[in-house]
């Protein structure tokens, strides 16, 4: 009996574009455990969506195999669809339907009873603060509202595996927070979640493990904290300097570590751990420099992402 929900084994996807062969995925291997939230990170065209389509059984890998609960997904695509809810994009397909119809119909197509589907659709609309919009057609909604309904179509039916492709694009901060909360809530109830996102900073709050993909290759996969440890052991101070005093501040801070300019009046100071207390004391106690704000920042998942991507590019250049 497999302990993994998904096992991706040496999967490659090659397709023909005009006269050239394009590699969308290149020998990707990874496993996804039951009950975890895996973030799949990578730039546009990295091969993330190709991987997701292979995971839901909509794309047969050119090479390799995707096992879902120990079984080849290609042989069980329809049965797998009853266990995996996939949010791909805003539901243009349902745009002529009313909002509550779009949710309830999707629930019923997942095998829910009419009454349960209607009830859950109503609950979701209340959670989304869209209860008054249930009777409107989807095409009458804003881009963000349509996206929320799309997310609702993935959440309805309480599928044990949830896959979201860029769920928070176009959403306002309040709705984005709500979506992350809902995803975490479903995960606490036992759902395994796979999350494709560009929003690395937000994903960091939610994911257990992160997989970094670029140029169709899996560059890294691990727990977020482990990935962070691999990146940079230095501490980072984010500083806001009074206008016109930047050069002076750079000169004063340089003895403690590396100073980087991140914006017009913002600096980053990278210091070794043993220098941290001295640097902090200087920043807090100094009176000459107008440091308006300061914050000590641990390495973020975004730093990890850039670091891994940079290292991979460097390696590619050397080879």
Partner 1 sequence: MNTAQMQMRLKQPKPFGASRLWTELSILFRIQFALIRDSWVIVLLLATMFPLTTILFMRFFVADPTPEMMVQIIAGNMIFGVIIMGLNSIGQEISMQKHQGHFTFYASLPILKLNFVAANLLRGLMSTVPSFVLLGVIGYWIYGVNLQLSWALPFVMLLSLTSIVGLGVCIGFWSPNQQLTSMLAQLLMMVVTFLSPVMVEMNQLPKMLQWLSYLFPTTYAADALRTVLLHGWTNGVMLDCAMMLLYSCLTIFIVNRLVSWRV
Q: Which residues bind partner 1 (CB under 8 A)?
A: 1-5, 34, 53, 56-60, 68-71, 74, 76-86, 88-89, 91-94, 96-97, 101, 105-106, 108-111, 160-161, 190
Positive/negative CA dihedral, 252, 254, 258, 259: positive
Say how far apart CA 36 and CA 30 lie, in whole Å: 13
CB of 172 to partner 1, least distance (A): 24
| Nearest to partner 1 of 99, 259 (CB atom) | 99
| Nearest to partner 1 of 109, 292 (CB atom) | 109
| Nearest to partner 1 of 151, 227 (CB atom) | 151
Say how far apart CA 68 and CA 5 lie, in whole Å: 6
Say how far apart CA 12 and CA 9 lie, in whole Å: 9
Alpha helical stretches, state H, 95-245 = 99-109, 114-127, 143-155, 173-188, 200-203, 224-231
CB of 178 to partner 1, least distance (A): 23
Give the start-end residues of each E strand in 18-136: 20-33, 37-41, 63-68, 71-72, 84-87
| Nearest to partner 1 of 101, 222 (CB atom) | 101
CB of 151 to partner 1, least distance (A): 13
| Nearest to partner 1 of 165, 202 (CB atom) | 165
CB of 72 to partner 1, least distance (A): 10
CB of 212 to partner 1, least distance (A): 25
Comparing CA positions, the residue from 291, 290, 297 lying closest to residue 276 is 297
Say how far apart CA 52 and CA 91 lie, in whole Å: 17
In the β-sheet with 209-214, what is the strand arrangement from edge to edge? 84-87, 161-165, 192-197, 37-41, 209-214, 217-223
Tokens representing residue 63 in the block: 């090479």
Burial class of residue 118 in the structure, from the number of CB atoms within 10 Å of its CB (0-12 exposed, 13-18 middle, 19+ buried):
middle
CB of 69 to partner 1, least distance (A): 4
Say how far apart CA 85 and CA 112 lie, in whole Å: 13
| Nearest to partner 1 of 52, 124 (CB atom) | 52
CB of 40 to partner 1, least distance (A): 17
| Nearest to partner 1 of 74, 270 (CB atom) | 74
| Alpha-carbon distances of 163 from 56, 93, 258, rounded to whole Å | 9, 18, 41
In the β-sheet with 258-263, what is the strand arrangement from edge to edge? 258-263, 266-271, 235-241, 291-297
CB of 68 to partner 1, least distance (A): 7
| Nearest to partner 1 of 69, 241 (CB atom) | 69
């Amino acid at each position: 009996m497999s302990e993994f929900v998904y096992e991706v084994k040496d999967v490659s996807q090659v397709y023909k574009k005009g006269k050239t062969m394009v590699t969308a995925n290149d020998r990707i291997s990874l496993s996804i455990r039951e009950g975890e939230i895996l973030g799949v990170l990578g730039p546009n065209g990295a091969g993330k969506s190709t991987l997701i389509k292979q995971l839901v059984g909509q794309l047969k890998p050119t090479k390799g195999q995707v096992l879902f609960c120990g079984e080849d997904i290609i042989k069980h695509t329809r049965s797998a669809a009853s266990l995996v809810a996939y949010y791909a994009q805003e539901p243009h397909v349902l745009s002529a339907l009313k909002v509550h119809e779009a949710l309830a119909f999707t629930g019923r197509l997942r095998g829910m009873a009419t009454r349960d589907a209607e009830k859950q659709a109503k609950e979701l609309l209340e959670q989304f603060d869209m209860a008054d919009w249930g009777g409107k057609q989807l095409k009458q909604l804003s881009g963000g509202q349509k996206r929320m309904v799309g997310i609702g179509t993935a959440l309805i039916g309480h599928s044990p595996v949830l896959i979201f492709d860029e769920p928070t694009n176009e959403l306002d901060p309040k709705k984005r927070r709500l979506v992350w909360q809902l995803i975490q809530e479903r995960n606490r109830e036992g759902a395994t979640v796979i999350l494709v996102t560009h929003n690395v900073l937000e994903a960091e709050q939610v994911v257990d493990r992160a997989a970094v993909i670029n140029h169709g290759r899996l560059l890294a996969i691990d727990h977020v904290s482990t990935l962070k440890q691999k990146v940079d052991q230095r501490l980072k101070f984010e500083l806001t300097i009074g206008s016109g005093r930047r050069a002076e501040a750079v000169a004063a801070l340089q003895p403690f570590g590396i100073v980087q300019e991140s914006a017009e009046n913002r600096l980053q100071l990278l210091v070794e751990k043993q220098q941290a207390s001295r640097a902090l004391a200087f920043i807090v106690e100094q009176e000459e420099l107008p440091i308006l704000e300061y914050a000590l920042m641990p390495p973020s998942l975004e730093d990890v992402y850039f670091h891994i991507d940079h290292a991979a590019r460097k390696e590619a250049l050397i080879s």
